[in-house]
Amino acid sequence: MPFADVKQTYKAVEKPWNNPFSDVSEGDWYYEAVRFVHERDLMNGYSDGRFGPNDPLSRAQLAQILFNKEGKPVVNYLLDFSDVANEAWYTEAIRWAVESGILNGYGDGRLGPQGQATRAQVAQMLKNFIENQEENT
C-alpha cells in the first residue's frame, strides 16, 4: 500500500502578554511596540507601573536600553563625571556606554544622564552603537 505524502505546516502560537503598564492599552497605536521591547527586556517602564509612552527619553534611559540589548555586559571602567552617581539605576549602563564609545560627556566633567536626549544625540548614540557592534563582530 503506497504511503501518502505528508505535509506539515507550522503556525506560530502567540503567547498572551500580561501587560504590566497602567498607561498602555491594547488599542494604543504603540501597544505592539511596547510589548516587543518589554518582552525582550529592553525597556521595563517605571517602578509605579507606568511605561510613560509620551515621556521624553533621557540620555541615561537610552544608554540603559542599549545596555539591555547587549545583555548588560560587565565593564570595569572608571567613570569621572560629577553628575553620575555611583549607585544610580543607570550607572552600569553609563559605564558600558562610555567605555564602548557610545556616549560621551559634555567636555566639562558632566555627562547629563538625566538630560533629555535630543534627536541629534539619539542619532549619534545609535550610530556609535551600531559601529561598535560592527567592530566587535
**Cβ atoms within 10 Å, residue 42:** 14
Residue 2 placed within a domain: no
31, 91: one domain? no
Residue 20, CA distances (Å) to 24, 42, 66, 80 in order: 9, 15, 22, 36
pLDDT, residue 88, reads 95
Residue 101 placed within a domain: yes
100, 115: one domain? yes
Q: How many domains does one find in the chain?
A: 2
- 17-32 mean pLDDT: 96
pLDDT, residue 37, reads 96
Residue 88 placed within a domain: yes
Binned at pLDDT 50, 70 and 90, residue 4 comes out as low
Of 12, 31, 55, the domain-final residue: 55
Each residue of 57-83: pLDDT tens digit?
A: 999 999 999 999 999 999 999 999 999
Each residue of 91-129: pLDDT tens digit?
A: 999 999 999 999 999 999 999 999 999 999 999 999 999
Of 55, 75, 100, the domain-final residue: 55
Q: 101 CB contacts (<8 Å, ≥6 apart)?
A: 128, 132
67, 126: one domain? yes
pLDDT at 1 over 60: no
Binned at pLDDT 50, 70 and 90, residue 30 comes out as very high
pLDDT, residue 15, reads 82
Residue 6 placed within a domain: no
User: Domain containing 91: what range?
Assistant: 56-135
121 is written with which cell numbers? 544625540
Each residue of 7-22: pLDDT tens digit?
A: 777 766 678 899 999 9
Residue 51 placed within a domain: yes
